[in-house]
Amino acid sequence: MINTETILDLRKRLVALRRYLDIDAKLIEIANEEEKTFAPNFWNDAQEAEKIMKALNAEKKWVADYDKAVSLVDDLEVLFEFHKEGESSEQEVMDRYNESITVIEDLEFKNMLSDEGDNMGAVLQITAGAGGTESCDWASMLMRMYLMWAEKQGYKVKELNYQEGDVAGIKTVTLEIEGEYAFGWLKGENGVHRLVRISPFDSNAKRHTSFASIYVYPLADDSIEVAINPSEYEIITSRSSGAGGQNVNKVETKVQLTHFPTGIQISCSDSRSQHDNREKALQMLKSQLFEIELKKRQAQRDEIEASKMKIEWGSQIRNYVMHPYKLVKDVRTSEETGNVDAVMDGNINPFLKAYLMMMGQRNDE
């Protein structure tokens, strides 16, 4: 059960957050920027107007989340006083405390996401490893996990490329996750994810080990300048193939882009419009080139920091064990849980936070 000291500690963290986040300056900036939006010619330059609105909404979100944290702690203090008088239950107090601490911790962790690119959306690619149907099924399970995580975070997800497995699951899928700090949250997911379970595809009910790789990079927007020479890439079209439904009606709309200097290859079949798919493929190329530039800028950092976004087939980062016992464990941070079902339902924030904490502590050393 919490006590007066517990609430006092939350108050101190709120004071620190108000200072770190510079809430007072944000309020002034919001008022100034909102005044600009009232100008009659504000939307004459739609691209610039959208950039201002995006920045304005980001500032408002910081303030709104901070205000929510303050309100929850205020409510907690009132409930605690009621509890001392016998007018509220211990469970009610603990529920409000848990809600308060979650919002405060999310703000504290979000404030840690200060590297360039952290505040952007993300492109997440899942690729099944060797192992045929087993790995393809595992890749589809990971896709569901990230989709459910994104939904819980309030992010929008768009499927950019999908290649189904021969029997079940997927060979590869590329997802665009749109929302503030999506890349900052997910950047530690790069690497190989390993599953151990009794295979539903094995009539002998033997235990199988499957692998899938995750590659995450920031989704560059119009504010990022990346020069791409048209002579350095080639785009070819092909017939799209999908899981069924409307996908099967797409004709020669899938585009495959190859960037010669880097060897980057991108497939996009998101739209029925070949033009739209070309534009999206170029945006994904721009995003990956931006990530390469970020890596160059980080090259002087220590070895661990410099390799944190590297994707190698051998870089196993997390084990998901479903048999003979249940356990999900991150091999880098040692964060673990026995509630495998919750993890597969998208509750992966403890793992994401543990990684951010580890990297933050190493940067401070």
pLDDT of residue 329 exceeding 80: yes
pLDDT of residue 302 exceeding 70: no
CA 138 to CA 167: how far, in whole Å? 13
Which amino acid makes up residue 170?
I
**Dihedral angle at the C-alpha atoms of 76, 78, 84, 90, nearest 10 degrees?**
-30
- Which segment, 25-39, 193-207, 235-249, 292-306, is predicted with the most confidence on average? 25-39
List pLDDT tens digits, range 173-194. Answer: 999 999 888 999 999 998 899 9
pLDDT of residue 323 exceeding 90: no
Give the per-residue pLDDT at 300: 43
Give the per-residue pLDDT at 272: 83
Element (H, E) at 235: strand 233-238
Give the per-residue pLDDT at 240: 59
pLDDT of residue 142 exceeding 70: yes
Instruction: Give the least confident one: 156-165, 241-250, 354-363.
Output: 241-250
Find the mean pLDDT for residues 206-210.
Answer: 88
pLDDT of residue 199 exceeding 50: yes
Find the mean pLDDT for residues 130-155.
Answer: 93
Contact 117, 291 (CB under 8 A): yes
Which amino acid makes up residue 8?
L
Find the mean pLDDT for residues 350-358.
Answer: 88
Beta carbons within 10 angstroms of residue 61's beta carbon: 13
pLDDT of residue 62 exceeding 70: yes
Give the per-residue pLDDT at 298: 58
Which amino acid makes up residue 101?
I
* Counts for the chain of helices (H) and strands (E), in that order: 10, 11
Find the mean pLDDT for residues 113-137.
Answer: 87
Q: How far is Cα of residue 200 from the mean position of the Cα atoms in its chain? A: 30
Structure-token pair, residue 50: 């959208």
Which amino acid makes up residue 20?
Y
Give the per-residue pLDDT at 65: 93
* Mean pLDDT, rounded, of the chain: 85
Task: Give bridge partners of residue 234 from the DSSP assignment.
Answer: 258
Cα separation of the two ends of the chain:
35
3-state helix, strand, coil in the chain (%, to 5): 50, 20, 30
Give the per-residue pLDDT at 358: 83
Beta carbons within 10 angstroms of residue 91's beta carbon: 9
Band (pLDDT 50/70/90 cuts) for residue 99 is very high
Please provide the size of the chain in residues: 365
Give the per-residue pLDDT at 2: 86
Structure-token pair, residue 165: 């497995």
Give the per-residue pLDDT at 348: 97
Q: Tokens 């099924």 map to which residue? A: 137
Which amino acid makes up residue 151?
E
Q: Does 121 or 245 have the greater pLDDT score?
A: 121
Give the per-residue pLDDT at 290: 84
pLDDT of residue 112 exceeding 70: yes
